Amino acid sequence: MKLLVTGGAGFIGSNFVQYVLDHYPDDRVVVLDKLTYAGNLDNLLRVQDSGRCSFYQGDINDEALVERLVPGVDAVLNFAAETHVDRSILDASAFIQTDVRGTWVLLEAARRHGTSRFVQISTDEVYGHVPQGSSREDDKLAPRSPYAASKAGAELLVQASWVTYGLPSLITRGANTIGPYQYPEKAVPLFATNALDGQPLPIYGDGRQRRDWLYVDDHCAAIDLVLRRGAPGEAYNVGAGNERENLDVARTILALLGKPESLLQFVADRPGHDRRYCLDSTRLRALGWAPRHDFQAAMERTVAWYQRNEWWWRKLKTGEYLEYYRRNYEQRHALLRSS
């Protein structure tokens, strides 16, 4: 197969490119990535000698470029997105442009060229806060952050393309993913790299929010299975059942790195913070998927990678990152002082 992977220089996209090249010696991959602050060619260094991966820097909103790349591919996998909830709270415009409009540009090109599979990489956040039980694919979408709303909007366009035009599209809704090459604004790489530097780990609110932690290889295996065996028109939850409170996550990282719990620093909460996500992945398991990493294994592998790969993350924690860090966290400290 020849795959177009948008967002392939990001965290999950680049791991997926490697997954495909490792598992399918005859497959080829075309990566389209804008290289935003979160896109990074270092993430693709490991596949550059394969001879089976080509890279185009560009925007999924660029209709002319998309029109050139879609003909001749067997499938489009749309990983490209603005992905950080806190940034969407500060300014959502890029989220609407990329996550919603950009998805429509890709869908329309895939429809025009009769692409045989379109896989939209979505998120458990589209279900919103889940106080009890677990979300099933037919539950209503109730997104609460601007990021989650933009991903839900994209999903509705994907469904409309299937229902109205018969474009064979599928949706995956993944849980919180961790592993190598994740930009250090997200909680786990941020906590790990701060801890390595002896810096505080900022814990939003009471730290009792719950997420289901999924190792990136397990997420990639699930997306690959949905691509090859999923039923068009369906959505598939991808959750490993590794539910933990954020405080447990931060404490696990400190323990793995031999750092003191005095580094935990409570700061003002994220506005509209979803306290819990939890997925029922029965539909995906029926296709033959099972996660290979429990919580401890996923955390150990992830933390060890950041410990060994300072070359990768050190240069990211400069410039724009520091400016964002100040905007996001100074405000949180100020709110905490005034409450």
In angstroms, give the least distance from the CB of 5 to ligand DAU: 17
Rule CB under 6 A: choose which of 84, 87, 219, 283 binds ligand DAU. Answer: 84
At residue 328, φ and ψ (nearest 5 deg) are -75, -40
Q: Which of residues 125-164 bind ligand NAD (CB under 6 A)?
A: 151
Binding of ligand DAU by 263 (CB under 6 A): no
Please name the amino acid found at residue 193: T
The closest of 117, 13, 109, 9 to 56, measured between CA atoms, is 9
Residue 9 touches which member of ligand NAD, ligand DAU, none, C-beta under 5-8 Å by kind: ligand NAD
Residue 103 touches which member of ligand DAU, ligand NAD, none, C-beta under 5-8 Å by kind: none
Rule CB under 6 A: choose which of 3, 5, 38, 148 binds ligand NAD. Answer: 38
Q: Which helix (H) or strand (E) holds 105?
A: helix 103-112
Binding of ligand NAD by 191 (CB under 6 A): no
CA distance 78 to 6: 5
**Has 124 been annotated as catalytic?**
yes
Contacts of 339 (CB under 8 A, 6+ apart): 268
**Has 62 been annotated as catalytic?**
no
**Has 63 been annotated as catalytic?**
no
Buried (b) or exposed (e) across 73-103, using 16+ Cβ within 10 A? bebbbbbbbbbbbbbbbeebeebbebbbebb
Tokens at residue 258, please? 């031999």
CA distance 156 to 143: 12
Rule CB under 6 A: choose which of 168, 174, 179, 207 binds ligand NAD. Answer: 174
The region of 53-61, 132-140, 224-232, 251-259 touching ligand NAD under the rule CB under 6 A is 53-61
Rule CB under 6 A: choose which of 24, 42, 46, 61 binds ligand NAD. Answer: 61
- Cβ nearer to ligand DAU, comparing 117 with 144: 144
The region of 59-67, 69-77, 250-258, 318-326 touching ligand NAD under the rule CB under 6 A is 59-67
What is 15-73 written as a DSSP string? HHHHHHHHH-TT-EEEEEE---TT--GGGGGGGTTSSSEEEEE--TT-HHHHHHHSTT-
Alpha-helical (H) ranges within 260-318 are 282-286, 295-308, 310-313
Name the residues that contact ligand DAU, by CB under 6 A.
83-85, 123-125, 175-176, 186-187, 190, 202-204, 209, 211, 246, 270, 277
Question: Which residues are catalytic, by number?
Answer: 124-125, 147
Name the residues that contact ligand NAD, by CB under 6 A.
6-7, 9-13, 32-36, 38-39, 59-61, 79-83, 98, 102, 121, 123, 151, 174, 176-177, 183
